[in-house]
Amino acid sequence: MATVSQQDTRFRLSEEQALELVEAYGTPLYVVDEVGFRCRIGAYMAAATAAYADSRVTFASKANSSLALLAIAADEGCYIDVASEGELRAALLAGVPASNCILHGNNKQAAELAFAFEAGVGEIVVDNFGEIELISELARTDEPASKIVGEVLGVDVGAPRTKLHCPKLALRLAPGVDPVTHAKISTGQADTKFGFNISDGAAEKAVARCMELGLPLVGIHCHVGSQLLDPQAQRDGAEALAEFAVRMKRELGFTTKVLNAGGGLGVRYTDGDQPTPVEEYCKMIAQSVVSALQGSGLKPTLIQEPGRSLIAESGVTLYTVGVVKTVPTAVGATRTYVCVDGGLSDNPRPALYGSRYTVERVARSADPDGEVVELNGDRTRTVTVSGRHCETDLLFPDIELPADVRAGDLLQVLCTGAYNSTMASNYNRFRRPPCALLRKDGSHCLIQRPETWDEMFEREIIPAGLVRG
Ligand SMILES: Cc1ncc(COP(=O)(O)O)c(C=O)c1O
């Protein structure tokens, strides 16, 4: 059983910093701490390399793909995991060499693959048999990639571009391990849309097919789930991959040069979330791989693909309190709603996964108006911090806040660096918030400006003749 980290490593703004940022950029506001992000990457890399010398850390850009953060990750030596053409374009725009990008996706589009070929991505993680055949077509033809894709699938991918050679390939495997996490972020079990199952022989057939087609298959990959506080599933997944590699060498003569154990290390959203320290986590993954490979002669590069654990704890979201309202509940008690100026559209995770967060008052309103919660001698009280969207979503339920929380107060929600800005939407026609970066020297700047009203409506078309008169 892994030990857990008791240490609270989450970034928090001081009152002074929060007031300065809000004066400059308003709320809601995402804030990312550059030093924290760089340090977490450094710590992960050091832990990975100490546990297994030939290690590589790939930042899963789905966690946060703002260009400045991708540039920082690359600057710190990370490769970048991209799960779509859009994420690949983001990495390229951030200055990441295509050769340091790994393309994922369970239903890659033909045009997306053609784009990846032509960009020269370092590796494609292949998900299914159809994709193997399509890649083979792309790899074999002398035609420009975009032309062959257009012909094979009847897809219009624009003007033919120059043909480039096939990137290295890895196979995404479903190792048949079922992690303890929310069902929507659990991906390693046999019943999954991702990858080739080991248990039903699909993975072995996929290796054989790639070899038969002469494709540049270099390795295997799995990602069993996300926000895993107990790393047993990742350890089992990595072990299953290594055992599979040994079997493929023995049975098919295939040499695994790259073994990618995915991401998934959990973070501290609330004090109850106590993740495994990264040093111990990396040791566990490496040991399970090394012991399964023993005697096989295989010495693959070990890749890890963390997203959340590199960026989540370095981010906070700032909100301003608006309405404070106490209402009767069905059981004869009362509930106090503390409504903030954002919510579902900037952080859908509570609605999607029932995710819990830590919310703190970081600055008190200088000029209170609206309802003031009675103190009753208590210093704190339990409230529901809710958003301002037309949903009965309890954004952050059961939060302890100072009992006199009131309109104009500033709240900071901890640990919002991952899967917040990348999952934000325009629901209720809310503009997505800006993101500020707190620099090493204590200064700050925007890395994503606020969305404008023009941007909100620029895709809209009202066809001629739609409206009478
Ligand atoms: C293939 C793959 N790799 C890496 C990750 C990153 O996971 P996490 O952010 O939990 O580390 C994900 C997340 O969904 C994923 O699907």
Residue 24 token pair: 């400059």
Instruction: State pTM to two decimals.
Output: 0.93
Helices H, strands E: what count in the chain?
13, 18
Residue 124 token pair: 């494609």
Do strands 380-386 and 435-438 pair parallel, antiparallel, or not at all (unpaired)?
A: unpaired
Residue pair 164/117 in contact (Cβ under 8 Å)? The answer is yes
Using CB distances shorter than 6 Å, the residues near ligand 1 are 60, 62-63, 81, 104, 223, 226, 262-265, 305-309
Which residues sit opposite 196 in a β-bridge? 173
Closest to 118 in 3D by CA, of 138, 91, 145, 92: 145
Pick from 62, 304, 311 the residue to mutate for probing ligand 1's pocket: most ligand atoms within 8 Å of its CB: 62
Please tell me the distance between residue 229's alpha carbon and the centre of ligand 1 in angstroms: 14
Tell me how far apart the alpha carbons of residues 259 and 241 are, in angstroms, rounded to a whole number: 7
Whole-Å CA distances, 385 to 10, 223, 276, 351, 420: 20, 33, 29, 13, 17
Which residues sit opposite 400 in a β-bridge? 382
Residue pair 87/324 in contact (Cβ under 8 Å)? The answer is no
Ligand 1: which atom is nearest the Cα of residue 104?
1
State the amino acid at position 9 in one-letter form.
T
Cis bond upstream, residue 28 (ω within 30): yes
**Which residue's CA is minimally distant from atom 12 of ligand 1?**
263
**3-class DSSP assignment, residue 361:** strand
**Which residue's CA is minimally distant from atom 4 of ligand 1?**
263
Task: Provide the residue count of the chain.
Answer: 469
pLDDT of residue 375: 45
Please tell me the distance between residue 307's alpha carbon and the centre of ligand 1 in angstroms: 6
Pick from 223, 267, 309, 314 the residue to mutate for probing ligand 1's pocket: most ligand atoms within 8 Å of its CB: 223
Tell me how far apart the alpha carbons of residues 340 and 322 are, in angstroms, rounded to a whole number: 6
Which residues are part of the catalytic machinery? 390
Please tell me the distance between residue 90's alpha carbon and the centre of ligand 1 in angstroms: 17
Q: Please calculate the CA angle 358-385-320 and round it to the nearest 5 degrees.
A: 90
Tell me how far apart the alpha carbons of residues 12 and 1 are, in angstroms, rounded to a whole number: 30
Tell me how far apart the alpha carbons of residues 11 and 61 are, in angstroms, rounded to a whole number: 20
Q: What is the DSSP string of 250-307?
A: HHH-----EEE----B---SSTT--PPPHHHHHHHHHHHHHHHHTTS----EEEE--S
Ligand 1: which atom is nearest the Cα of residue 305?
4
Residue 373 token pair: 């919660």
Output the tens digit of pLDDT for each of the chain's 469 residues: 567 667 899 999 999 999 999 999 999 999 999 999 999 999 999 999 999 999 999 999 999 999 999 999 999 999 999 999 999 999 999 999 999 999 999 999 998 998 999 899 999 999 999 999 999 988 876 665 555 555 555 555 555 555 568 999 999 999 988 776 666 666 667 788 999 999 999 999 999 999 999 999 999 999 999 999 999 999 999 999 999 999 999 999 999 999 999 999 999 999 999 999 999 999 999 999 999 999 999 999 999 999 999 999 999 999 999 999 999 998 999 999 999 999 999 999 999 999 999 999 999 987 655 444 444 555 899 999 999 998 877 899 999 999 999 999 999 999 999 999 999 999 999 999 999 999 999 999 999 999 999 999 999 999 999 988 7
Residue 132 token pair: 């193997």
Ligand 1: which atom is nearest the Cα of residue 307?
9
Taking CB atoms within 8 Å and a gap of at least 24, the contacts of 138-142 are 138/113, 138/114, 138/166, 139/165, 139/166, 139/213, 139/215
Whole-Å CA distances, 108 to 115, 125, 151, 213, 239: 11, 10, 17, 20, 27
